[in-house]
């Protein structure tokens, strides 16, 4: 099973003619509220890939109705806490006609994971399970340390990247998943090749997945490098490509022996996702991915 300690956001998306300027009051021409957050998206991808997925996190009680994409995907939500006092994590997103966006993020309930709750959840995990983390919740170093002490492998996607990531106990992580920009930020480098070298030097015992958009993905393990090509598709919206990739990869990855097939399945799932608009709704289920791969 995958134990995802992750964010759940409500994305409030406003269409605007231009970004609101200082002192301006601007009317939006269209509005929608949708479920988002890297945590929620990765749980959905993982569950759709067919692996038992438990999401650990929190939202405000009044937003319960927003969770249906997670429950419908089969994510175990019994560890999602419902609070009355704190706002759900949310994003205010302005979108202009040329599809540029400007985003205000509020972490809210995503930052209320408690140490007792981490212990309680990890009691249920076995050494063949995974803990999955992104950088949109609190207590990341506690979760890494506690999982490590119990020999439960941790997969960490440090997104969005922040300066404090480098000071986390990353040497205790089994699998680090970064895109090209995150890899360069984390290593203070300017090219993909430099980033690759520094990552391997800094974290020699960590397996690293470096996703490269339409250039596919590289898996670095003990000085070796395995590559999988992305599928050529007509990309419409790359939102949640990485989240789809991560969920599908982890759901299918058990050890070095099946890395290649896990990468291929994850590339297929994320290729399908980029042909569709939106985040969670664009994540395909397992049958669609099998059909895609057999064509």
Q: Which residues bind ligand ADP (CB under 6 A)?
A: 179, 211-214, 216-217, 230-231, 233, 235, 238, 241-242, 245, 267, 270-271, 274
Identify the three-state secondary structure at position 188: coil
> According to the annotation, is 36 in a ligand binding site?
no
Cα gap 175→165, rounded to integer Å: 15
Cα gap 214→157, rounded to integer Å: 19
CA distances 288 to 97, 157, 240, 242, 268, Å, are 32, 25, 17, 18, 9
> According to the annotation, is 216 in a ligand binding site?
yes
> According to the annotation, is 215 in a ligand binding site?
yes
By beta-carbon proximity to ligand ADP, the closer residue of 142 and 180 is: 180
For the record, the structure tokens of 72 come out as: 């419908």
> According to the annotation, is 190 in a ligand binding site?
no
By beta-carbon proximity to ligand ADP, the closer residue of 16 and 271 is: 271
For the record, the structure tokens of 288 come out as: 């669609």
By beta-carbon proximity to ligand ADP, the closer residue of 62 and 236 is: 236
Tell which residue, 85, 79, 78, 77, has the closest CA to residue 61.
85
Per annotation, catalytic residue among 63, 76, 129, 243? 243
Cα gap 121→131, rounded to integer Å: 10
| β-pairing verdict for 175-179 and 207-211 | parallel
Tell which residue, 173, 179, 155, has the closest CA to residue 240.
179
By beta-carbon proximity to ligand ADP, the closer residue of 87 and 293 is: 293
For residue 219, the minimal CB distance to ligand ADP (Å) is 11
By beta-carbon proximity to ligand ADP, the closer residue of 152 and 156 is: 156
Cα gap 47→2, rounded to integer Å: 9
Cα gap 132→53, rounded to integer Å: 10
Cα gap 228→253, rounded to integer Å: 14
- Asked if 243 is an active-site residue, the reply is yes
By beta-carbon proximity to ligand ADP, the closer residue of 163 and 232 is: 232
For residue 195, the minimal CB distance to ligand ADP (Å) is 13
Cα gap 129→236, rounded to integer Å: 34
CA distances 46 to 49, 231, 262, 277, Å, are 5, 20, 12, 19
Q: Which residues are annotated as a binding site for K(+)?
A: 237, 239, 273, 276, 278, 282
Q: Which residues are annotated as a binding site?
A: 9-11, 37-41, 136, 179, 211-216, 237, 239, 242-243, 273, 276, 278, 282
Catalytic positions: 243
């Amino acid at each position: 099973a995958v134990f995802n300690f992750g964010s759940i956001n409500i994305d409030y998306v406003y269409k605007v003619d231009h970004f609101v300027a200082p002192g301006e009051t601007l009317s939006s021409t269209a509005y929608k509220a949708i479920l988002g957050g890297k945590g929620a998206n990765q749980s959905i991808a993982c569950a759709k890939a067919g692996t038992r997925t438990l999401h650990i996190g929190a939202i405000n009680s009044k937003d319960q109705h927003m969770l249906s994409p997670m429950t419908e995907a089969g994510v175990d939500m019994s560890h999602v806490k419902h609070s009355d006092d704190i706002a759900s994590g949310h994003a205010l997103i302005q979108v202009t006609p040329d599809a540029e966006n400007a985003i205000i993020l509020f972490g809210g309930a995503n930052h209320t994971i408690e140490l007792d709750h981490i212990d309680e959840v990890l009691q249920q995990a076995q050494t063949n399970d995974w803990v999955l983390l992104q950088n949109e919740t609190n207590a990341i170093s506690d979760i890494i340390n506690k999982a490590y002490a119990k020999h439960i492998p941790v997969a960490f996607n440090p997104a969005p990247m922040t300066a404090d990531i480098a000071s986390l106990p990353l040497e205790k992580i089994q699998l680090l998943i970064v895109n090209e920009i995150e890899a360069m930020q984390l290593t203070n480098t300017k090219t993909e090749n430099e980033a690759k070298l520094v990552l391997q030097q800094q974290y020699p015992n960590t397996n690293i997945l470096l996703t490269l958009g339409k250039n596919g993905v590289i898996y670095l393990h003990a000085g070796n490098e395995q590559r999988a090509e992305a599928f050529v598709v007509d990309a419409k919206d790359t939102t949640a490509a990485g989240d789809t990739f991560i969920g599908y990869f982890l759901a299918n990855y058990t050890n070095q022996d099946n890395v290649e097939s896990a990468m291929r399945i994850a590339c297929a799932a994320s290729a399908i996702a980029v042909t569709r608009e939106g985040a969670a709704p664009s994540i395909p289920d397992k049958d669609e991915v099998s059909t895609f791969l057999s064509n």
